[in-house]
Amino acid sequence: MPASRRFLQLDVFASRLCDGNPLAVVVDAEGLDRATMQRLARWTNLSETAFLLPPTQPQADYRVRIFTPRQELPFAGHPSVGSAYAAIEAGRVDPSRGSLIQECAAGLLPVRVVGSEASRIIHVQAPPARVEPLDSALADQLAAALQVHLSIDQVCRVDNGPHWILCNLERADTVRGLLPHMAALAALCIEQKAVGVSVFGRESRGDAAMAVRAFCPADGIPEDPVTGSANAAIMAWLGGRGDRDGYGVRYRASQGREVGRDGQVDVQRDPGTGAVTIGGACVIGMRGELMLD
């Protein structure tokens, strides 16, 4: 008889189904080994699949393991936001509490819960980021893959759990008009051990200050709809540049329109500590049972 486990699929960084980034969540993941989790992540074929588990540290309220179709990640943004939402919806944590602690491979991360039911917004603090410059040869390789002209000042590498290569294209219309060479981006990501390349530029209309895109072709995701860790990495880079780009310590990013979505990520940096949080709405699209032999 197959084992039955609760299963949710939800959209993260959107309040309407089909606008955000889909996340599969195995609510009762106790007893699953790493190989089975990876196999399930390949089967769901989403950018990430999350597995909820009891915490191993007394400070934590729950634990999550996060897998792309290719690998396990120590941290990812939309699975962290979505996992907190799913843990509340499934009754694994107390929904009346305004703050939680998530345990993941990147450590213990504070979670802030604002509102309830359909209006609930989840904010997750990203792990501390390490920002590194790219050399000119790698910047040229990136420019060729993105099919744009770049200066060394427009690119960097950020590690906030996953490794991201970032590119400031300055204008939203440049971001939205990109037609990158996916095979070249995949080769670059594999060579640099990066989960993906994220680009951003200033938005001049609507309620978002920034347009963002994230390409993860090496993991089988040519373009990720809405990407929390990339948005957190961008804010960490902006802060490290002394905020000379003028976004401030709080803004909203728009991502996903190029793949038929309309996600929104609220990004904030503590001016004292430099800690970055990413937040947004979630909506559940599927509830069911996962049957495993």
Instruction: Report, as residue numbers or ranges, the catalytic residues.
Output: 48
Give the strand pairing for 263-269 and 107-114. unpaired
> Please, are residues 45 and 70 in contact by the beta-carbon 8 Å criterion?
no
Assign 211 to helix, strand or coil: strand
* Cα separation, 80 vs 163, whole angstroms: 16
**What is the signed CA dihedral for 232, 235, 237, 241, rounded to 10 degrees?**
-170
What is the identity of the amino acid at 12?
Answer: V
Among 74, 100, 104, smallest CA distance to 88 is for: 100
Among 268, 241, 174, smallest CA distance to 212 is for: 174
Kind and range of the H or E run holding 191: helix 182-192
What's the longest Cα–Cα distance across the chain?
A: 60
> Please, are residues 80 and 109 in contact by the beta-carbon 8 Å criterion?
yes
Helix axes 182-192, 136-146, angle to 10 degrees: 150
Residue 206, burial from CB neighbour count under 10 angstroms (0-12, 13-18, 19+) = exposed
